[in-house]
Amino acid sequence: MTALAETGSEPVLTAPARIAPRPFGLVRHSLALAKRSVLKTLRTPEQLLDVTLQPIVFVLVYVYLLGGAISGSTEEYLQFLLPAIMVQTVMFAGMATGVNLNTDIGKGVFDRFRSLPIGRSAPLIGSVAGDLIRYVVAIASLLAFGAVMGFRFHTGAVEVLAACLLTVFFAFCLSWAFVLIGMLMRSPGAVQGTAFLILFPLTFGTSMIAPKETMPGWLQSWVDVNPVAQLMDASRALMLGGQLGNDVLWVLVWSVGFLVVFAPLAVGAYRRRT
Amino acid sequence: MVWAFEAEGLVKRYGKTTALAGIDLRAERGAVLGVLGPNGAGKTTAVRILATLLRPDAGRAAVGGLDVVKDAAKVRRLIGLTGQYASVDEDLTGTQNLVLIGQLLDLRTSDAKARAAELLAGFGLSEAAGKQVKTYSGGMRRRLDLAASLVGRPDVIYLDEPTTGLDPAKREDVWTMVRALANDGVTVLLTTQYLEEADALADTISVIDHGKVIANGSPGELKRVVGGQTVLVRPSDPAHLDAAGAIVAAVAGRKVESPARGVLTVPVDGDAAFTEIVQRLARDRIPVTELSLRLPSLDEVFFTLTGHHTKEDAA
């Protein structure tokens, strides 16, 4: 510690210079924290297994187990499945944000964030925004694997990009609900359990793995109002062509609704939780 | 006068548990306040209130004259916190950790990088700057943690048990840093379970138990109350225990305790008593396997101040 001994005469450690606050603090702080989250993800690639390998397993299971029965051939079923399962994949990635935050906020580093002169919501916004990288990885690996299996787009790059962006935006907004659960629950396991209770009716109460017409009437009514089903239909229309309808508009309305309701609730729960 | 920080009558309850039962703590600018107490005494709770992480149920606390509840945002510009557990990010490198904190403190990125490099050099971490913190040793983590709380050049720094879990050599490192901080005029609140540590670093020591301050004063004053030092004697032959006990009691003029089988301890006021005990044991030909002079342990301080041991409280 010789270096430190010298600091007595030459104050490296501290000096009275006060740092002046700069404008747009919340945006800058959230971005800095989002970068932290991205760096952490890239440094621990095993954390990306759930958005790379897991969706591929789902695709393989559905396509080879159900493809023949539902569409007559696995190739045709892949066309039907992939735009929809992309939605499920990204939503699951959004759930992981809530689970991870539940573990993270117990750690000392969040105490430090709370002792810094930054907005109370910045660490949450940073984590949720930083996890957008996971969505991108999820979509990229799923579409690449789909292409290898024989999936082909029937529309242009703009439409495909629109489908991806719409999915990411929806999952980002909905992930605030999982962040809220993450703030309210005691353990990551409890977060995951509760989140699945919400995710299953949302992702499986859709035409993701089978056409709606084959379902009983009550289930069809649910599919009609389920925003995830609308998002999957929009994604199919944007990737394969066909009638787009009002789905995009409704998905955007639902997304903003989720964001406006759950983001403030999640931030409030984070403030109360010490 | 304006205290660097000041807490008055702080109360904090968790359900039926009272963590703080009206605690007063204060320190002048540039002073080191040692808060000494066993596990569960309320040390961490008090620090968390002073660091704006917790709201008190009653009482008030201020840093630089600013209320920690009403002016929390301003207070956060004045303080640095190093928690009981390393509050740095394991997956990031040392540099990334410090740059992030600089950015959160509104430094421009280039300034944040310069400040990070300066602190890493000051704490002997330049070589490890680009490595992930998870590869650091315990001592390196503590140093980085301390560096992290200094990025914003705080007026007041809270060190919550900064040496718990460190080996003695690393503990000395941390002590050197704390002294360097005090020399630079930073006010330090240090919590510890070791009287030795508080004695080595603090200008004032507040002893707390069950969320209350039970003694307050300079290390010298405190040692006068609890007996400056303790003599420990372990006769080679347990048959000599009574004889040795009589000598020790006569010299110290205090009641002798037996904290373990075959061991006698007694508080003494100075080195002279120790020398006399040594001479009398030699004169009566009582061989010993252990004979030492040391500062009283926290448990002994507590026994003297409260009449009960810390371990009973912890249970």
CATH for the stretch B229-294: 3.30.70.100
* Residue of chain A whose alpha carbon sits nearest to that of B92: A40
Q: Where are the domains of chain B?
A: 5-223, 229-294
Calpha distance A33→A36 (Å, rounded): 5
Confirm or reject contact between A103 and chain B (CB < 8 A): no
Task: Give the span between the Cα atoms of A66 and A55, in whole angstroms.
Answer: 16
| Alpha carbon distance B112, A32 (integer Å) | 12
Residue B219 — very low, low, confident or very high, per pLDDT cuts 50/70/90?
confident
What fold characterizes domain B5-223? Rossmann fold (3.40.50)
Q: What CA–CA distance (Å, rounded) separates A124 from A129?
A: 8
Q: What is the rounded average pLDDT of the residues B33-51?
A: 90
Say if the Cβ atoms of B53 and A115 lie within 8 Å: yes
Cross-strand partners of B204? B33
According to DSSP, residue B20 is labeled E
Test mutation, A4, A41, A133, chain B, max B CBs within 10 A: A4
Predicted ipTM of the assembly? 0.80
Distance from CA of B280 to the nearest CA of A (A): 43
Name chain A contacts of B80, Cβ cutoff 8 Å: 115
Terminal CA-CA length for chain A: 35
C-alpha closest to that of B277 among B303, B254, B301: B254
Percentage of chain B modeled with pLDDT above 90: 39
For the ranges A6-10, A82-86, B112-116, B230-234, which has the lowest average pLDDT?
A6-10
pLDDT tier at A35 (50, 70, 90 boundaries)?
very high
pLDDT at position A12: 46
Judge: B87–A19 Cβ closer than 8 Å, yes or no.
no
Model confidence at B227, pLDDT cuts 50, 70, 90, reads low
Q: Which residues contact A185 (CB under 8 A, 6 or more apart)?
A: A102, A191, A194
Model confidence over B53-99: pLDDT tens digits?
889 999 999 999 899 999 988 899 899 988 776 688 888 999 999 99
B198 touches chain A (CB under 8 A): no
What is the pLDDT at residue B83? Answer: 76
Confidence of residue A18 (pLDDT cuts 50, 70, 90): low
The pLDDT, as a whole number, for residue A106 is 77
Query: Does A6 score more than 80 pLDDT?
Result: no
Give the pLDDT confidence score for residue A19 in this predicted structure.
66
- Select from A215, A180, A208, A174 the least CA-distant residue to A194: A180
What digits encode the pLDDT tens for the residues A203-231? Answer: 998 888 888 888 898 999 998 889 999 99
pLDDT value at A48 more than 90: no
pLDDT attached to residue A266: 93
Closest CA to A177 of A196, A164, A162, A163: A196
Q: CA geometry: angle at A53 spanning A47 and A59, to 5°?
A: 145
Which pLDDT does position B167 carry in this prediction? 81
Q: Confidence band (pLDDT; 50, 70, 90) for B315? A: very low
Q: What residue type is assigned to position B102 of the chain? A: G
Tell me how far apart the alpha carbons of residues A132 and A145 are, in angstroms, rounded to a whole number: 20
Mean pLDDT along residues B101-120: 93
Residues of B in contact with A7 (CB under 8 A): 122, 180, 184
Enumerate helices (H) and strands (E) in chain A, giving the number of each: 12, 0
Q: Which residues of A touch B121 (CB under 8 A)?
A: 3, 12
Q: Which residue has the higher pLDDT, A8 or A153?
A: A153
Angle among Cα A198, A201, A202 to the nearest 5 degrees reads 75
What is each CA distance from A141 to A78, A134, B8, B68, B179, in whole angstroms? Answer: 15, 11, 58, 49, 54
Nearest CA in chain B to A17: B153
pLDDT band at B311 (very low <50, low <70, confident <90, very high): low
pLDDT in tens, A129-167: 999 999 999 999 999 999 999 899 999 899 999 999 999
Q: Per the CB < 8 Å rule, is B177 touching A1?
A: yes
* Chain B residues 97-156 with a CB less than 8 Å from chain A: 100-101, 103-107, 118-119, 121-124, 132, 148-150, 152-154
